[in-house]
Amino acid sequence: MVKNIIAYVLVVLLIVSGASLALNLVTNHNKVIVVPDFSNLTATEAAHVASRAGLRTEVHDSLFQRGLKPGVVFEQSPAAGSNVKKGRKIQLRTNTKVAKKIPMPSLVGFSVRQARAELVRNGLMLGKLVYVRDIATNNVLKQMCRGREVPSGSMVTSGSTIDLVVGLSSTDNMTFVPDLVGKDYRRAVDMLHDNSLNVGNLRFDKRARTYADTLKAVVYSQSIASAGDPQSMGTAVSLSLTSDPDKIEKLRRR
């Protein structure tokens, strides 16, 4: 009887061990790969680097970025340093070699949040929010590029910055400053715009040598430090950002 129980236990252990081994072989269980940094590499170079690491790449979008070498990667998902399984496909965004012209979308009547989403969808960027008295707060009244009103349908350069003239009522005109410390550059800018605030001066440390470096930089201080305090809509918040990996790691653990 005892021998039968021992034999039964051994068989069960063998089955469990075999199943675990098979799971590891099929799913690379507990085996992760650190995603390389593809910034400033061409799509071909990034594909070679990814292949050596056991990963794949795919260019899912191209956008013209001034000051950045044509054809190189400036954004990736998952981000560099992320842990992924072998064979994972990394989505890349590259800089177009030539700035293309695109029709300006119609944003008048949109909320700021809706207008920003539409700008991003069309390869454009939200710049400054210019508030003027109106009955509806955060309602887009005009769309501007380089100080000039841009009618919908007119051709603009991909990657252009579009300023919005938006309404501000006499009663609904206050907002709150979010805590931006530890947030990367793009996320910090989006959070300011989502809170009806403008981006003030941007100060990057010496590690940020390229446009791709600035995108990965992280906020370590902001001019209005008392996050949560009420401020007038349209207030500019200046940011200091770092590209130092050690500082970034500490900021994200705070």
Q: Is residue 168 predicted with pLDDT exceeding 90?
A: yes
Q: Taking a C-beta distance cutoff of 8 angstroms, is the pair 116, 193 a contact?
A: yes
Q: What is the pLDDT of residue 8?
A: 55
pLDDT for res 2: 52
Query: CB-based contacts of 21: which residues, under 8 Å, 6+ apart?
Result: none
Identical fold for domains 100-172 and 174-254, yes or no, is yes
What mean pLDDT is predicted for residues 90-102?
Answer: 85
The closest alpha carbon to 140, from 171, 102, 168, belongs to 168
Query: At the topology level of CATH, where does 174-254 sit?
Result: Trypsin Inhibitor V; Chain A (3.30.10)
Residues 194 and 190: their CA atoms lie apart, in Å, by 6
Q: What is the CATH number of domain 33-95?
A: 3.30.10.20
Average pLDDT for 220-245: 89
3-state secondary structure of 176: strand
Mean pLDDT computed over 146-167: 94
Does pLDDT of 30 surpass 80?
Answer: no
Domain residue spans of the chain: 33-95, 100-172, 174-254
Give 57-84 pLDDT, tens digit per residue. Answer: 999 888 777 667 888 888 889 988 889 9
Residue 92 amino acid letter: L
**Percent of the chain, pLDDT > 70?**
87
pTM: 0.70
pLDDT in tens, 174-211: 999 999 999 999 899 999 999 999 999 999 998 877 77
Please provide the average confidence, as pLDDT, over all residues in the chain. Answer: 85
Do 159 and 120 form a contact (C-beta atoms < 8 A)?
no
Q: Residue 141's pLDDT is what?
A: 97
Provide, rounded to the nearest whole percent, the portion of the chain with pLDDT above 90. 55
Q: Is the pLDDT of residue 23 over 60?
A: no
Q: Pick one of 3.40.50.9100, 1.20.1740.10, 3.40.50.2300, 3.30.10.20 as the CATH number of 100-172.
A: 3.30.10.20
